[in-house]
Amino acid sequence: MEGNPIIDLLMSHRSIRKFAATPVTREQVNAIVRAGQAASTSSNMQAYSVIAVEDPDKRKRLAELAGGQQYVESCGAFLVWCGDLNRLQHICSKQGKEVARTTENLLIATIDAALAAQNAVIAAESMGLGIVYIGGIRNNIAAVSELLALPELVYPVFGMCIGYPDQQPEIRPRLPLEAVLHTDAYDAGKHEACIAEYDKAYIDYMRSRTGGGRIAAWSEDMAERASRLLRLHMKPFLEEKGFARQ
């Protein structure tokens, strides 16, 4: 699909962690979030909300809670994307009903937030802005929730830094298409060859990115990362917030 500007934009994505001092206007933020709202949503439930964090003290605290990620504080705009069943509970209660606190509705809220956020990313990048997702806000999710006054049935899925890039990092290679695209049925027999191919590309990328300082294969990195027991506080936190009780 050569010459398709939208595909070209998508394929040029990279995470930006250093931003210029140029401000991102509220008008731009509004347009970015409106573009997010145009994303698909399960049964039109629109089970998400976005917190635009402008207060400098809150930004500083969020940077700390996310593990010392300074760009949360320095980026032009910072958005927290939330799974939100609270608004639906408000609707239900006015009609004598209760929103179902099921795992399915938790998934719907999470997926809706992710779909809207990715639409917003493309909108931001089309304006010449850069972004990086901040999953680290789940490191201290209860403190983040309290800081942002999130009520029952609302939880922060991830943050998003937005701003004018002050760096041009290399595009991180992805797995071969064959690793993720299957035909008619899942084919686990492709794993070995696809991972071996990707490991080579990943080692070259990491060698270039770190100036030769780090050359671990992707499979080594992921075996270590995927086997870690991380954020075990998430399940009790979500249950306390009213999610996934069935």
The string of pLDDT tens digits covering residues 107-140 is 999 999 999 999 999 999 999 999 999 999 999 9
- pLDDT mean over 91-101: 97
Crossing angle between the packed helical segments 218-226 and 191-209, to the nearest 10 degrees: 100
Closest CA to 163 of 209, 204, 212, 125: 125
- Kindly tell me if the per-residue pLDDT of 92 is higher than 80: yes
pLDDT of residue 103: 97
Domain assignments of the chain as residue spans, ordered by start = 5-169+229-240, 177-215
- Kindly tell me if the per-residue pLDDT of 239 is higher than 80: yes
The string of pLDDT tens digits covering residues 202-211 is 999 999 888 7
- Kindly tell me if the per-residue pLDDT of 171 is higher than 80: yes
- Kindly tell me if the per-residue pLDDT of 170 is higher than 90: yes
> Percent of the chain having pLDDT more than 70?
100
The string of pLDDT tens digits covering residues 35-91 is 999 999 999 999 999 999 999 999 999 999 999 999 999 999 999 999 999 999 999
Rounded to whole angstroms, the Cα distance separating 241 from 145 reads 10
pLDDT of residue 1: 62
Record the pTM. Answer: 0.95
Tell me which fold the domain 5-169+229-240 belongs to. Answer: NADH Oxidase (3.40.109)
Concatenated DSSP letters of 26-39: HHHHHHHHHHHHTS
pLDDT of residue 211: 79
The string of pLDDT tens digits covering residues 175-219 is 999 999 999 999 999 999 999 999 999 999 999 888 777 788 999
pLDDT of residue 155: 98
